[in-house]
Homo-oligomer: A and B are copies of this chain.
Amino acid sequence: MTKGPSLDDYRVPYFGDKKADKFSLGALDTAAKPFSAGSKDADRGRLSEIGTKLDVQQERLHAQRRQRVLVVLQGMDTSGKDGTIRGVFHEVDPLGLRIVPFRAPTPIEASRDFLWRVHAQVPAAGELAIFNRSHYEDVLVPFVMGGIDSAECERRYRQIRDFELMLSQTGTSIIKCMLHISKDEQRRRIQARIDDPTKHWKFDISDLDARKHWDAYQDAYRGALAATSTEYAPWYVIPADSKSHRNVMVGMLLLRLLESLKLEYPPAKEELAGLKIE
């Protein structure tokens, strides 16, 4: 009897796990489509079904106003963070959803510790917050560009683990997705943006700097993911060369998380029973 693919096959081994040492991004096929329904159209259909279920779960989360959910999206330029947000959360009621983009720190942000601006944006009770980039930029960019040494990097990994543990212990469920594309796929996507002048706004020539350091970034991601994938805030690597499959997989992960919370509508209020309004 063969077993189908499991979402957990794409989970980064937990920090401290023996398998974590062997974790390699290069070994993961960016073009894989393990959860595909067979075609792009079928995947869109599947995503729509997932979207409907996500909407139901999210309304309960919002109604209950007790638990909090945080989704962290990371990935190289053009890996599809914006597209994932649009695709997966399209059917979710905008009322209980908060998208938080993190860009290069402003002087005010940079003059505090790197978790300061992130902490200010964590989800409130009943909220589903999506971080479009996150505090992980602060162990990726300076690591590659030489702003921090490896001792400082290890210190930050630990600070991140401690911070996420605290969030988890105080009622926030966390899921982290790295959208994993190949260098070749990035080339195609950047080229497509360049060749279409109406897409130039999505692209800045300085984005090419990160591409020049592709291998160093892959290495930085590998280190960061292995050091911060935990039971309370696991990392998943999403094969992201296929956009429709990427959306299906992120949707499945989020739906699984929400369903595991056993969200229910709050109990009926006794004082309202039989009340007639005039």
Question: Is A208 among interface residues, defined by CB-CB distance under 8 A?
Answer: yes
The smallest C-beta distance from A7 to any residue of chain B, in angstroms, reads 23
A-B complex: 3 closest residue pairs judged by Cβ atoms: A197-B268, A63-B201, A201-B266
The smallest C-beta distance from A113 to any residue of chain B, in angstroms, reads 22
Within 8 A of B (CB), among A258-278: 265-269, 271-272, 275-278
Extra A-B contacts (17), CB below 8 Å, given A86-B93, A187-B277: A63-B201, A85-B94, A90-B91, A90-B93, A94-B97, A97-B99, A98-B98, A190-B277, A191-B277, A197-B267, A197-B268, A198-B265, A200-B267, A201-B265, A203-B269, A205-B271, A211-B277
Q: Which of chain B's residues have a CB closer than 8 A to the CB of A198?
A: 265, 268
Question: Is A64 among interface residues, defined by CB-CB distance under 8 A?
Answer: yes
A82 to B194, CA, bound (A): 40
Which of B64, B65, B89, B94 contacts A99, CB < 8 Å?
A: B94
For A187, give the chain B residue with the smallest CB separation: B277
Q: Which of chain B's residues have a CB closer than 8 A to the CB of A200?
A: 266-269, 272
Question: Is A95 among interface residues, defined by CB-CB distance under 8 A?
Answer: yes
A165 to B265, CA, bound (A): 42
The smallest C-beta distance from A30 to any residue of chain B, in angstroms, reads 17
Q: How many residues of A contact B (CB 8 A)?
A: 42
Q: Beta-carbon contacts of A236-278 to B below 8 Å, as 1s and 0s?
A: 0000000000000000000000000000011111011001111
For A86, give the chain B residue with the smallest CB separation: B93
A41 to B94, CA, bound (A): 23
Q: Which of chain B's residues have a CB closer than 8 A to the CB of A276?
A: 191
Q: Which of chain B's residues have a CB closer than 8 A to the CB of A272?
A: 194, 200, 203, 205
A197 to B197, CA, bound (A): 54
A187 to B275, CA, bound (A): 12
Some 17 contacts from A to B, beta carbons below 8 A apart, are A63-B202, A65-B201, A85-B95, A92-B94, A95-B132, A97-B99, A98-B99, A190-B277, A194-B275, A197-B267, A198-B268, A200-B269, A203-B269, A203-B272, A205-B271, A205-B272, A211-B277
Q: Which of chain B's residues have a CB closer than 8 A to the CB of A90?
A: 91, 93-94
For A96, give the chain B residue with the smallest CB separation: B99
The smallest C-beta distance from A105 to any residue of chain B, in angstroms, reads 16
The smallest C-beta distance from A126 to any residue of chain B, in angstroms, reads 10
The smallest C-beta distance from A247 to any residue of chain B, in angstroms, reads 13
